[in-house]
Amino acid sequence: MDAGQPKVGADSVVERLRLWVLGVLVLGLIGTVTELVLLEHYEQVLQFVPLVLIVLGVVVLVWHAVSKDTASLRALQIVMGLFVLAGFAGMAAHFNGSAEYQLELNPDMSNWELLEKILHAKAPPLLAPGMMMQMGLLGLAYAFTDIRYRRSK
């Protein structure tokens, strides 16, 4: 056997790990969409972005589970990349929303005080959109550990 090729046992371990990653991703999608709906995270147009992406992510995951073709895999990679971008955009939106609110309360605060208030704010929570990044990275890990990528190396 060539030293560069994975052993059969290694393939089964990777597949088992991929299923765990997929399970964690699905749990994250279900938990996040539930929390966003309960928090009524749909009052403004931008707040629909994570909800729409989660629905799109579920649709693409189901499509990929059924067809397991290259098109569904590519779509999964694109949607998960959008999750990561949405996480960064969400953090920026939460930062700006919190800054506006804090400046309404006290327009004379220094930049350092403002940053401190934003970092400690409970609404909107600055790091909450990081969950979108985590799910996107899990989805990308799942997609890029597909057997087609492992065999091409």
Per-residue pLDDT of 4-16, as tens digits, reads 555 567 778 888 9
| Paired tokens of 74 | 């590519």
Query: How far is Cα of residue 4 from the mean position of the Cα atoms in its chain?
Result: 33
Residue 79 domain boundaries? 8-145
In tens, the pLDDT along 54-83 reads 999 999 999 999 998 999 999 999 999 999
For the chain, give the longest Cα–Cα distance: 71
pLDDT at 2: 53
CA pair distance 12, 106, nearest whole angstrom: 59
Which of 151, 149, 106, 145 lies closest to 25 in space, CA to CA?
145
Residue 103: pLDDT above 90? yes
| Number of domains comprising the chain | 1
| pLDDT averaged over every residue in the chain | 91
> Coil, strand, or helix at residue 85?
helix
Average the pLDDT over 115-120 and give the result. 94
Amino acid at 79: V
Q: ∠100-105-110 over CA atoms, to 5°?
A: 75
CA pair distance 143, 100, nearest whole angstrom: 39
Average the pLDDT over 128-152 and give the result. 87
CA pair distance 60, 142, nearest whole angstrom: 13
pLDDT over 70 percentage in the chain: 91
pLDDT at 12: 87
Confidence of residue 151 (pLDDT cuts 50, 70, 90): low
152 lies in a domain?
no
